[in-house]
A and B are shown apart, each in its own frame.
Chain A
């Protein structure tokens, strides 16, 4: 067994209404120290986690949206978004934040690792991962 596992974080819940989105993001941040191959997938109400423009100034809750933008610096290589979930909610990629990624060793850069994928790809991606975290 290789030391590096393919981790998939499955996000199916909206932010704010419950703490799951925020606390699962905390796992991703901590998990970066373990140098695994990390992807996140957003589906169902989870796609709302990536919608830009959140303003929590009047709800007295921690706005954790800026944290998503830093995920590229925490070893996250892919943020996949289920296309059908986006469409069902009247959203397009234009509504979502962009997350940049850079490999500091090879200087390879990707402007935006947020990627809508169709159902077959979602199924394949999940099947290929070795550990799936659900929150």
Chain B
């Protein structure tokens, strides 16, 4: 089965991103293909490398990165949502004249078309949100 996952909420504020992570991990471990994880709304905040949770808490961003490294997972932040919320990669920094980047490794910023394409390509779209 080919899956697409949509994450609508940021880390820590809402359990949605935890649920999305555990679901994605379970699907990958079962041998399913995850075509893409698309982060929308505050979900784009899952992709900042500047996250520093307390040591006794889970590191949600790092968890995504490690999962992506292990399974070559496509983690995409919506560009419009990212711009609104200050998630910046090299390209965005140059285009919008920003003095820094904060995107975590393995994440990339792209358009909403990536969500629509994922929904078309995948056998199932699974949405996690508030």
- Interface residues, chain A, with chain B CB atoms under 8 Å away: 3, 5, 7, 19-20, 23, 26-27, 30-31, 33-34, 36, 131-135
Pick the residue among B6, B41, B113, B120 that contacts A19 (CB under 8 A): B41
With a cutoff of 8 Å between Cβ atoms, the chain A residues found around residue B40 in the complex are 23, 27, 135
7 contacts between A and B (CB under 8 A): A7-B119, A20-B41, A30-B116, A34-B120, A131-B120, A132-B127, A135-B41
With a cutoff of 8 Å between Cβ atoms, the chain A residues found around residue B119 in the complex are 5, 7, 131, 133
Pick the residue among A3, A33, A132, A135 that contacts B129 (CB under 8 A): A135
Q: Is B117 an interface residue (CB 8 A)?
A: yes
B120 touches A5 (CB 8 A): yes
CB-nearest residue of chain A to B112: A30
Q: Complex: how many Å from CA A34 to CA B114?
A: 11
Q: Is B17 an interface residue (CB 8 A)?
A: no
Q: Complex: how many Å from CA A31 to CA B114?
A: 10
B117 touches A34 (CB 8 A): yes
Q: Taking the nearest CB of chain B, how far is it from the CB of A74, in angstroms?
A: 12
Contact with A along B97-130 (1 / 0, CB 8 A): 0000000000000011101110110000101010
